[in-house]
Structures are given as structure tokens and as C-alpha cells.
Structure 1
Amino acid sequence: MKLVPSTLLIWIVVAVGFPAAMVAALVPGARWIAIASIALIAIAALIDAVQRRRALGGIRVELPALARFFKDRDAEIRVRVRNESRTSRRVRIGIVAPEGIEAVSEDQQVDLPQDSDAAEFVWRATPRRRGRYVFASVYLEAPSRFGLWSVRDRAAANMEIRVYPNLRSARELRALRHGTAGIRAMRQIGRGREFEKLREYVPGDSFDEIHWKATARRGHPITKVFQVERTQEIYVVIDASRLSARPMGEESALERAIVAGLVVGAAAERRGDLFGIAAFSHQVEAFARARNGKAHYAACRDAIYQIQSRPVSPDFEEIATFLRLRLRRRAMILFLTSLDDPVLAESFTRATRLLARRHLVMAGMLRPESIGPLFRDEHVDKAENIYRNLAGHLAWKRLRELEASLA
């Protein structure tokens, strides 16, 4: 608990204390009157300071245990102030926002009415970065009994704020909402790989369709029957390694990949497919198995909202092995990564070769502005721009060759 001189005490000292000290120094006959005035001010301030605990006694600040915000969207939290003494008081409450959250005001005056045990106010803020934020304390200030001091204290708080990606501004999500009108389920043509049932062997059945364990039990050939997958499993795998920190317009590549992954999840949910998500760098950072439903979509969002770029190279072998061991059904796996580095492109090709035997593997990347065909820019007027465009053309050519090799 800390004491700070109030404005009232400062004015009393200026209006009474300083003149009394000057009178005591310049007028010997009035010295004792001046000393008595100064002593009276000091005694009153001391008595008021001794009773400082009464200023904030019985006051508690209640914050919600968990609040969910969205990046770049205005949000608010209702704060409840308990007043166990039920006396009329004015309290100044400060909630310091961490870096990444912009508060409209870090402190607010709250009037606690007479005969009321609680009052409420609204704390408004706008998050600028996604992630997890913990508020461990709030700050209180109230005038002392005589108003000569401002009593300050820090109270414990336990509030967690989760800032999620803002999909409301995503153009892809708006297109998804407008583009699903009139959508119809179509009969899928093809053999399929989803197991349906067992039946007796019929001449012409392939040997790789024979269920050997059932054949051994029954003593005659038994064949597996497959059907077209009714609900596909779709996985979005987000690369959170060093190249994901590169700026792509107003945001980093990682931010745009996370938004894209959640948009794919929303599309899969609308179509009735199963959606899962994973993130990796030099190790697996997050994984959520494919399911459907709003609760599962929220779980996928919780799994990746804290992911940040790491200054390491991606380990494609690690994530490919991880997925091979955990994905039993055939699935579509979409990697959101950066493959303009030839070493990383070779590592990705090698790591996903075995994964592609069972699953449909796709790769998507944001192309940097510097990469493109040689004659894409009409306004090249310097030699250095020619060399820059030439380097971008070579990188673009390597990406086209990589695309052809992965097809």
C-alpha cells in the first residue's frame, strides 16, 4: 500500500505551510503561531496517513476468468467492483493492458453508491496481436479519510484473454458465405477407398482386396468392399518456421496462413467434411484430429491461436512421420509453407513422397512480390532492377519446375 500526497494536501502546504514558514523566519513575534500552523498540518496529515487502510478496505475487483477477443476488433469487459462496507466512495481503478492490446483508457473513476455492495464499469480495448494474455493484477486508488492522501494498492487478478484471428475481414470467408447459396450434394463417381463390408470372393476380384485374416478364419477367400468416401478428412498443416515471419502485405505469411486454414475449416464444416489442423516448425507445435461440428472448430482455433514464428528451419521429415503414424484414413493434406528456398523444396519433396502414397498431398504458398516472370514489369529503368527481376524470374522458374515435379 502506497501513499501519494493529494491535490488538497499540496494546496494546503502551498497556501498555509509556505507562508507560515516565511512568517516564522521574517517575523520573530509570530514564530510560534507559524510553527503551530505547520505542526497542525503535519499532525493532520500523519493521522490521516495512519488510517490509510480504511480507504480501500472491503473493496474487491472481479474480472472474468476468461475473455475471448478477435484481432483488430473492438472488445469490452464488464468489471465488477465489490464494496463490502456499503459506504459511498470514489475509487480509481487501473487495468494496464499488455503490449499487443490497446486500451481506450487504462484507468477509470468508479463511484460506489451508498448502501450498495457492488458497482460495474466497462473496460474497452482493441487487440492488435493474436495470442494469450494474462492479467495478474489491477491497481486501486482512493482518497484517505480527510482527503489529504491518495491511497494506492495493487490487487491480485486472474484473467486470461485469448485473441483469435479476425476472420470477419477475410475476403475468402465473405466469398464462402455468398458462394454456398444453392449448393447441392452430388453423387461421387469412383471406386473409393473407405471400407464398407466383407463379402465372399468373386472371380475377378483383385488380390490386394482380399482380407487375409478373415480368409484364414473362414477357410475360403473373403474380399473387402470399398465405397466412395462420404466424409473426407481435410487437414491444413501450417509452417511456423523462419520464413513464415516474412511480411506479405500488411501481415506476415504466418498470419495469413492461419486465417486461410480457419477459412478452409469453415468451408469443410459447411460441406459436412471432417477438418483437422496442425502446425510445425522444427517440431510439431499443434495438432487436432479431423472431426466436425462447431465445438471442434473452436478447438482447432484454440490449438493454433498462440502459434508464433520461430527462427528455425522447418523439419518436413518430422511432420510427415507424425502424420503417417496418426492418420489412418485417406485424407487431403494441405501444407501452407514457403518453398522458394531450393533446399527446403527438396526436403519437402523427399519428406512427402511416402505420405503421398496414401494421402492426397497439396502445397500452397504465398508468392513474394519479387518472384515472377522476367518481363512482368514495364517500368524497369535501372540496371539493378533488371538484375532483381532476373533473380525473381529464376526463383519463379524453380517454383514452376517444383510444381511440375509434385503434380
Structure 2
Amino acid sequence: MIEPVHSPQPEGPQSSVVPGRRLLAGVAVVALYALLCAAWDELAGTWLLALGGWLLVALVDLAWSLQTVKTPELSVAEVVRFTKDRAGTLRVHLARREGTPDRLRFALALPGGFTDERDEVMLTLPEEAKSHVDWKATPAARGRFYGVRAACELRSCWGFWELRERRVLPCELRVYPDLLKERAVMAAMFLDRGQFGQKVTRTIGRGREFEKLREYQPGDGFDEIHWKATAKQGYPVTKVFQAERTQEIYVVLDTSRLSARPVQMDGITTTVLERYLTSALVLLQAAQRQGDRFGLVAYGSRVRAFLRAGNGAAHYGACREAVHTLQPVPETPDPAEIVRFLRTRLRRRALLFFLTDLSDPVLAEEFARHIGPLARQHLVMINQVRPPGVQPLFAGEAVTETAEVYQRLAGHLRWSELRKVSQLLRPQGATVAMMDDEALAGHLVTQYLEVKRRQAL
């Protein structure tokens, strides 16, 4: 279940004609000749003949060019993918038609939020082979964009006019979150091996997944004996368990008004939702490498997107497609609705990572009131980004100014309120963590690997 994104209807080409340099130069020459005619009476009136003849030649050139000069055929991929804040390329293919000049001026107008590296380019088209233009641009916003406009300018047959044609290309630009920094911080998790890193750790517990039956051995517990098999075989038979190899992981994203809070990341102002999305995609990649099944849920006052748990690169691509268009919506989240939805849809016990903001006391109290039944059915871990300045009173560097004392006190009071929320949710069975936005992705992966190591799910 994903909110649909509708593409606009394509527009037809728009043509226009502007005077060329040759026509303007001829008119300027005729104007100078008119000044000379004003000085000599015997030349009076001849400039009108010169001007009329020049304009007649220009009109003939225009009429002939409109019939014979053709713009090249333009084609582009239906979907072009970019990464936010990183340069990408949009390739446009051009094919000559009969009547297409050798040289033309070409330009692209991308939707708002894209920064072009150049305004226009002069092209020389080959006789038979197709040519292409690689238009480089950098997107500043995530989502889907339409309305890529291409403009071609060609000279008329005699060069008196510039024939221009503008058209909207049937192209969809998809801009995805930038995961480069998160990947660099956790480079070990992207190595081509089954487990993360090179350190071998012991798995705690005996496992929950049934593997086989075997004869009873000294030291086996009575709770491990398979009584039906024992009665049938006539001697004690023990059940053998193994660590669960496939678990279900869900990331639950809060896209309500709380996710629109601005945060600073490498000097760039972004929103909390952007940090949620990048961290969620990194966590899903970690689950994919571990062989677990992973899914995605996005909600506000209602559920906006839901992808049931799956595995493989294709399913990860589907998750990425589902979230790259999400934007904060000006509505209040409904904890009761998302809890009801998850309890209805998720039958198998799963690990749920909530990425939300519990800084609003009223919403935090409502969240705690409804999370109990869900936490008894699933393993719930709630993570939120630490607001700026929210920390214990004596944490951080020493105070240097008097005004900073009051800022520290305000931050301590907010930190104390969030700590009370954590203490309120802990008896319900939910784990609450608050961290800096730079460490969110790494913290989620650490939580996930620790759950697998301890077999807490």
C-alpha cells in the first residue's frame, strides 16, 4: 500500500521565430543608408526600396524555412535517477531528420530544485549516426519531478531567422536520499561477506528455531524432551534448536508535523524526516546482508505506506521507491491507528524500529497508552533524534557566558521530560533511545545486531 504519485499530462511542442543576426545587421545597414539619403535629395526614397527588398528576401527565407527546416527527434529515458545533493546526468538523444541543419543551439530547463552546470550548448549533428547530450545537474530536494523542457534553436535556410521549438520531454526524475556518509561511517557492513566485519562473537542462548530430533544426552533439560517422539520410540528423544536465520524487521517512520523539525547536517539545514529516511535505508541494507526479511511502514494521522517484509535486492529497491517521495505532512500522528494497523497486519513476531519524536508530552502519553499490546506481541524499539541543546545540565563543555546558563537549564528540563517518557514506556515493553542525528544510522544497526546476537526476538 503506497500513496500514488500522478504524472502530469504531456504538452505539445511550442514554436517561435526570432530575427537572426543577419536580418538585424541588414536592417542596421538600411538605417545607415536612410541617414545618407536624408543628406542627399537625389537619393531620397531609395532607402525605402532597399528596406522593402531586404524584408521581402527575409520573408521568403522565413516561409521556405518553415516548410523545410525540421528540428531533430529528441528521446530520453522514461525514468532518470539522481541522488540528493550529488551531481547526476540526464542523457538526451538527438536524431537528425531530413531538413535538420548541421548545427543548432540546445538547452534544458529542469524542474525547480535542480542546479544546472551550464545554460546552453552548441551541437554539431553527424550526418547519419545519432548523437546525445549529457546534461549534468545537482538536485537539492528528494522526490519525483516532471516537466523537463527541452529547447532547440536552428538557423533558417539563408540565416535571416532563428527558429525555436520548446517541448516537454516524457521523463520522470527520481531523486533518492544520499546514503554516502552513512556507508562511509559503517564501511564494514558493506563488505562482500555474510556477516559484518571480521570479529567473531558468540551467540547467546540456544535458539528458538526447531532443527531436528536426537537421542537424549546427559545434561539435556526436561523442557527439551519431545514427549510424543519419546512415547513412540520407547526411549527419551530431545528437541534440538538453532538460532533463527530469518527474522522480520520493520522500520516504522513518523512523517507527521513532528518530522519537519530542521536539523543541521554538515552545515546543511535539513529535516528530521531526511535523517529518518537515510537511517532506515541503511538499516534495511543491513537486514538484507544478514538474510533477514525487512519491511517498511510510514504513517501520520493515517498509514501512508506499507510494504510487507521480504528479502533480496528487488525488495530493497521497492522500499527505496516507496519512501523517496515522502514529505512531512502538517498533521498530528495517531498512535492508536498505527498500533491497530500493525497488530492487524503483522501476525508473526517481528522487530519494530519506530523513528518518531516524543518531545510533545501529550503525544508521548497517548503513545504510551496504546503501545502496550503491540509491545507484548512484537519487539518494539523507539528511536528519536536529540533536539539541539537537549542534554543533562553538566554534560558538554564548560559554560563561558551567563546566557548559556539559562540555555543549559532549558535543555536539561527538556531532557528530563524525555527521560520521564522513556521511564513511562519501559514498563510497557518498549525500549526508548535518544541520539544525535549523525549517529542515528549507526545506532540502529548496532541495536539490530545486538538483538540478533542475543536472540531477543
Is TM more than 0.5 here? yes
Which residue matches 1:246?
261
TM-fit CA distance, 1:188: 5.7
For residue 388 of structure 1, report the CA deviation from its aligned partner. 2.8
The secondary structure found in structure 1 opposite 2:393 is: coil
Q: Which residue of 2 aligns with 1:211?
A: none
Question: What amino acid is the match of 1:180?
Answer: F
Q: Distance in 2 between matches of 1:359 and 1:393?
A: 32
CA contact (8 A) 1:372 1:393 kept: yes
Percentage identity across paired residues of the two chains: 38
1:256 corresponds in structure 2 to 275
Deviates more, 1:47-56 or 1:178-187: 178-187
The change in CA–CA distance for 1:90 and 1:238 in structure 2 (over 3 A counts) is same
Secondary structure at the counterpart of residue 277 of structure 2 = helix
By how many angstroms is 1:230 displaced?
Answer: 2.7
Indicate if the aligned counterparts of 2:177 and 2:277 stay in contact, CA closer than 8 A.
Answer: yes
Q: CA shift at 1:228, angstroms?
A: 5.5
Aligned to 2:358: 339
Shift of 1:182: 2.3
Aligned partner of residue 326 in structure 2, secondary structure: coil
Counterpart of 1:152 in structure 2 is 164
Q: Following TM superposition, by how much is the alpha carbon of 1:367 offset from its aligned partner in structure 2, in angstroms? A: 0.4
Alpha-carbon shift at residue 184 of structure 1 (Å): 5.5
- The more displaced of 42-51 and 53-62 is 53-62
C-alpha contact (below 8 Å) 2:16/2:164 kept by paired residues: yes
**Structure 2 counterpart of 1:106, which letter?**
D
Q: Quick one: which of 378, 399, 424 aligns to 1:379? A: 399
Decide whether the 8 Å contact of 1:65 with 1:158 is kept in 2.
yes
Tell me which residue corresponds to 1:39: 52
Contact kept, 8 Å, 2:245 with 2:291, in 1: the verdict is no
1:5 is aligned, of 13, 16, 19, to 19
Aligned residue type for 1:143: R
2:379 is equivalent to residue 360 of structure 1: yes
**For 1:208-357, what aligned pairs fall within 5 Å after superposition?**
229-249=244-264, 250=268, 251-357=270-376
Number of residue equivalences: 383
Question: In the TM superposition, what is the alpha-carbon distance from 1:308 to its structure 2 partner?
Answer: 0.6
Q: Tell me, in whole angstroms, the C-alpha distance in 1 between the residues paired with 2:300 and 2:186.
A: 27
Alpha-carbon deviation of 1:175?
5.1
Q: Name 2:94's counterpart in structure 1.
A: 81
Please give the secondary structure, in 1, of the residue aligned with 2:171: strand
What letter is aligned with 2:383? G
| Structure 1 residues 48 and 286, CA gap change in structure 2 (3 angstroms) | same
Could you tell me which amino acid in structure 2 is paired with residue 335 of structure 1?
Answer: F
Tell me the alpha carbon deviations over residues 128-181 of structure 1, each in whole angstroms, 9 at most, x when there is no partner. Answer: 211111135321211111111111112241011111111112244435337922
Partners of 1:121 and 1:35 lie apart in 2 by 46
Are the structure 2 counterparts of residues 367 and 87 from structure 1 closer, same or farther at C-alpha, using a change threshold of 3 Å? Answer: closer
Q: Secondary structure of the equivalent of 1:352?
A: helix
SS of the aligned residue for 2:422 comes to helix
Q: Secondary structure at the match of 1:329?
A: coil
1:236: Cα distance to partner? 0.8
Q: Give the Cα separation in 2 of the matches to 1:350 and 1:190.
A: 34
Secondary structure of the corresponding residue to residue 125 of structure 1: strand
Pairing 1:181–2:197 present: yes
1:102 corresponds, among 103, 107, 115, to 115
- Of structures 1 and 2, the one with the larger relative CO (CA 8 A, separation 6+) is 2
Match of 1:93 in 2: 106
Offset at residue 375 of structure 1 (A): 2.8
Query: For 2:358, what is the secondary structure of its paired residue?
Result: coil
Specify the code of the residue in structure 2 equivalent to 1:295: A
Instruction: Mark the runs of 5 or more structure 1 residues left unpaired by the alignment.
Output: 198-203, 206-224
Deviations 1:192-240 (A, max 9, x none): 3x6899xxxxxx98xxxxxxxxxxxxxxxxxxx9976331111111111
Please report the RMSD computed on the Cα atoms of aligned residues, expressed in angstroms: 2.8
Structure 1 pair 81–277 and aligned structure 2 pair: CA distance change class (3 A): same
Asked if 2 retains the 8 angstrom alpha-carbon contact of 1:23 and 1:34, the reply is: no
* Alignment partner of 1:53 out of 62, 66, 84: 66
1:118-137 matched pairs, under 5 angstroms: 118-137=130-149
Could you state the TM-score of these two structures normalised by the residue count of structure 1? 0.86
Read off the aligned partner of 2:122 and give its amino acid letter.
Q
SS at match of 1:151: strand
Output the CA distance in 2 between the equivalents of 1:164 and 1:77: 15
For 2:70 and 2:141, the matched residues in 1 are separated by: 37
Q: What's the CA shift for 1:253? A: 0.9
For residue 380 of structure 1, report the CA deviation from its aligned partner: 4.8
Write the letter of the residue equivalent to 1:11: A
- CA shift in 2, pair 1:303/1:357, >3 Å: same
Q: TM-score, normalised by structure 2?
A: 0.77
Q: Secondary structure at the match of 1:365?
A: strand
Q: What is the alpha-carbon distance in structure 2 between the residues aligned to residue 321 and residue 107 of structure 1?
A: 54
Instruction: Select between 292-301 and 319-328 the one with higher mean Cα deviation.
Output: 319-328
1:91–1:35 distance in 2 versus 1, CA, 3 Å: same
Q: Displacement, 1:87?
A: 5.4
Which string of whole-angstrom CA distances, capped at 9 and with x for unpartnered residues, describes residues 338-390 of structure 1?
A: 111111211221222111110001111110122111233522523x4333322
For 1:183 and 1:41, the matched residues in 2 are separated by 84
CA pair 103-302 structure 1, distance change in 2 beyond 3 A: same
1:139 corresponds in structure 2 to 151
Give the Cα–Cα distance (whole angstroms) in 1 for the partners of residues 418 and 303 of structure 2: 26
Q: 1:53 to 1:159 in 2, by over 3 A?
A: same
Query: Using the alignment, how far apart are the partners of 1:144 and 1:47 within structure 2?
Result: 11
Cα pair 2:111 2:148 within 8 Å, conserved: no
Is this contact kept in 1: 2:108–2:148, CA < 8 A?
A: no
The CA deviation string for residues 69-98 of structure 1, in whole angstroms up to 9 with x for no partner, is: 111222112211111217542122221011
Tell me, in whole angstroms, the C-alpha distance in 2 between the residues paired with 1:77 and 1:157: 12
Q: In the alignment, is the contact (CA less than 8 A) between 1:86 and 1:116 conserved in 2?
A: no
Partners of 2:41 and 2:63 in 1: CA distance: 33
